[in-house]
Amino acid sequence: MLHEVRAALALGPGEVFCDCTLGGAGHSLALLHDIQPDGRLIGIDRDQQALDIASQRITATAGDVQFIGLHGNFADLDELLLETRLPGVDAFLFDFGVSSPQLDIPQRGFSYAQEAPLDMRMDPGQHTKTAAELLNSLNETELAWILRTYGEEKWAARIAAFVVKARQLHPLQTTGELAELVRAAIPASARREGGNPAKRTFQALRIAVNGELEAIESGLEAALRWLNPAGRIVAISYHSLEDRIVKEHFARGAKGCVCPPQAPLCVCGQVPIIARYAHKPLVPTSAEKQDNPRSRSAKLRWAVKYQRNVAEDNS
């Protein structure tokens, strides 16, 4: 959705652009020219391997744009941006989820289509729990909750029961074992609907392993604070849970006050910080979906920060 991203970010020469999900740097490389001359590109990724490869690509073509590559979770955006010593950012891009290389390298354990250890950590260097560790340690209720909430899996309870039974014999270790177990847990008639039956379970585990939804909450919240006046923010989501967080965040930022509607006076003191935002998400064209099947579920939302603090406008 490069065309839509470019239009919504509306970058200009000399601006500071922060790509919070650098990945393979597809977006950043394409947008680099828009901040020339003298712009600054901050590229963040929690995956050191992705960051290293992307950094090499960018530095080879950055010209007079200053590139700052930062390894970390955009949930910690405050700490990451403080490192740059920049006072603010003109535009942010979030392109959530996993990248194609992460899905395509079997050892990362993200794909139900390839046999590998059940890892799924975007940042394996952090020594956080792998998908196998979660599957083998959580109780049945906790597992069912993860599958139902993060995967919107209607057979969550059955799959969780199958996991608990299977791990009594031996711990679940591989993507293949889990994919096979999900197949067995879902009744044959239900398996015929909508793609691989393991898709929702893998999505749910990945979200849990990486704390993805909590990161989106904190990342968006910090990005809105760091945005310069009239700054732009674009977020691309790939499932309804992500999209709901973005939508609610932008709506809240545009509304400001969070007092209950029955309150006679505003006591929260919060003012709107978003001047305009996409009420409806933009989606890829059918040509793009055909060209890049992974873009099929993409939803893009944008928001623009007020030119001035609205408290000043009202005073």
Ligand X SMILES: C[S@@+](CC[C@H](N)C(=O)[O-])C[C@H]1O[C@@H](n2cnc3c(N)ncnc32)[C@H](O)[C@@H]1O
The β-bridge relationship of strands 89-95 and 227-237 is parallel
Give least dist CB 39 to ligand X, A.
Answer: 18
Q: Which two structure tokens, joined as six digits, stand for 237?
A: 């989501």
Give least dist CB 169 to ligand X, A.
Answer: 34
With H, G, I as helix, E, B as strand and everything else as coil, classify residue 133: helix
Q: Does 246 bind ligand X (CB under 6 A)?
A: no
For ligand X, what does the binding mask look like between residues 178 and 217, x meaning CB under 6 A? -------------------------------------x--
Give least dist CB 74 to ligand X, A.
Answer: 4
Q: In the chain, count of helices (H) and strands (E)? A: 15, 7
CA distance 68 to 117: 33
CA distance 25 to 72: 16
CA distance 180 to 173: 12
Q: Does 8 bind ligand X (CB under 6 A)?
A: no
Q: Does 25 bind ligand X (CB under 6 A)?
A: yes
Q: Does 27 bind ligand X (CB under 6 A)?
A: yes
Q: Does 227 bind ligand X (CB under 6 A)?
A: no
Angstrom CA distances, 146 to 116, 133, 151, stand at: 22, 14, 7
Give least dist CB 142 to ligand X, A.
Answer: 22
CA distance 216 to 73: 10
Give least dist CB 211 to ligand X, A.
Answer: 8
Q: Which two structure tokens, joined as six digits, stand for 262?
A: 């029955």
Q: Which is nearer to ligand X, 26 or 281 (CB)?
A: 26
Q: Which is nearer to ligand X, 123 or 177 (CB)?
A: 123
CA distance 144 to 164: 11
Stretch that binds ligand X, among 39-47, 113-121, 249-257, 262-270 (CB under 6 A): 39-47
Which residues are CB-contacts of 48 (< 8 A; sequence separation ≥ 6)? 71, 123, 125
Q: Does 9 bind ligand X (CB under 6 A)?
A: no
Q: Does 75 bind ligand X (CB under 6 A)?
A: yes
Q: Does 97 bind ligand X (CB under 6 A)?
A: yes
Q: Which is nearer to ligand X, 36 or 48 (CB)?
A: 48
> Burial, 29: exposed, middle or buried (Cβ in 10 Å; 0-12, 13-18, 19+)?
middle
Give least dist CB 181 to ligand X, A.
Answer: 27
- 276: β partners: 304
* Strand order, beta sheet including 227-237: 66-71, 40-45, 16-19, 89-95, 227-237, 299-305, 274-277
Residues in contact with ligand X, total (CB under 6 A)? 20
Q: Which is nearer to ligand X, 122 or 222 (CB)?
A: 122
Give least dist CB 252 to ligand X, A.
Answer: 20
For ligand X, what does the binding mask look like between residues 113 and 132, x meaning CB under 6 A? ---------x----------
Out of 73, 111, 175, 201, name the contact with ligand X by CB under 6 A.
73
Cα 8 vs. chain centroid, distance in angstroms?
A: 18
> Burial, 313: exposed, middle or buried (Cβ in 10 Å; 0-12, 13-18, 19+)?
exposed
Out of 6, 10, 26, 128, name the contact with ligand X by CB under 6 A.
26
Which is it for the CA torsion 83, 213, 304, 64, positive or negative?
Answer: positive
Q: Does 90 bind ligand X (CB under 6 A)?
A: no
Q: Does 17 bind ligand X (CB under 6 A)?
A: no
Interface ranges with ligand X (CB under 6 A): 21, 23-27, 44-47, 50, 73-75, 95, 97-99, 122, 215
